[in-house]
Every structure is written in structure tokens, then in C-alpha cells.
Amino acid sequence: MEEIALCAGVALVVAGLRASKGWPPLVAAAYAVDAGYRARLRWWDGIDLNTGNVRQALDGRVAVIDMFCMDGASLYPQVLKGASVVREKLPGSRHLLDIPYIAMESTPEQIRALHDFWCRTP
């Protein structure tokens, strides 16, 4: 539940950043969320606040998509060395293999190996 609450908090921060053009308290909150993840997750690569990640639904709600960046170059070797280490830090992470790094930097054989290691029953 902590992760869900954190995601909701980040969504509000990003929406506020877009609406306010960088209002300082919101910027500070975004950096605080970023610092928290950096402190406890070694594969964290920052919050992606690009404008394509903040959308407005037809009913006016603000939606934030794909805003967390992971360091695929260090994350994927850890999956191959020991997926349990990653599972411990990222429980329930069902989109781990969707990080763009894998498609850009890996061969089909490497992608298959990552999939096999990640999808093994712990």
C-alpha cells in the first residue's frame, strides 16, 4: 500500500508542476519522492517528468503514466545473477521486462534469458 500511496502522491506533484510551471513546494515534493526511492532502490533512475507522461482525461482528470525510470543497465544483470534480490526490492513488479532499455540494448537471446530468469518460480 505504501507504493500505491507514493504513486498517488507523485501524480499530484507532477500535475501541480505542470499547472504551476514549477511552483517551488511542488518541486521540493517531487525531489523528496525521488530522494526516497534513490535511498532504498539501487536501480532507481529518477522520476520522468516529461510532458508526455502527464495527460488529461476527457472528463478532466489528470492521469500520469510511465513516470518512474529504472536503470536497466544495472537492473537486468542483477536479474540474471539473482532475480530474488530484485523481487525482494520490487515485490509484485509485473512490468519489469517492459523497461525500454531491454528493447533498445538487448538481443532476442538476451531478452529470452531475462524473461526465463524473471519468470521462474522463486
pLDDT exceeding 90 applies to what percent of the chain? 2
Average pLDDT score over residue span 72-89: 87
Look up residue 43 and give its three cell numbers: 536501480
Element (H, E) at 19: helix 2-20
- Model pLDDT, residue 88: 86
Q: What is the mean pLDDT of the chain?
A: 74
- Model pLDDT, residue 18: 58
pLDDT interval class at 109 (50, 70, 90): very high
Cβ-based burial of 112 (10 A; exposed 0-12, middle 13-18, buried ≥19) = exposed
The identity of residue 78, as a single letter, is Q
pTM value surpassing 0.85: no
Look up residue 93 and give its three cell numbers: 513488479
Res. 72: pLDDT tops 80: yes
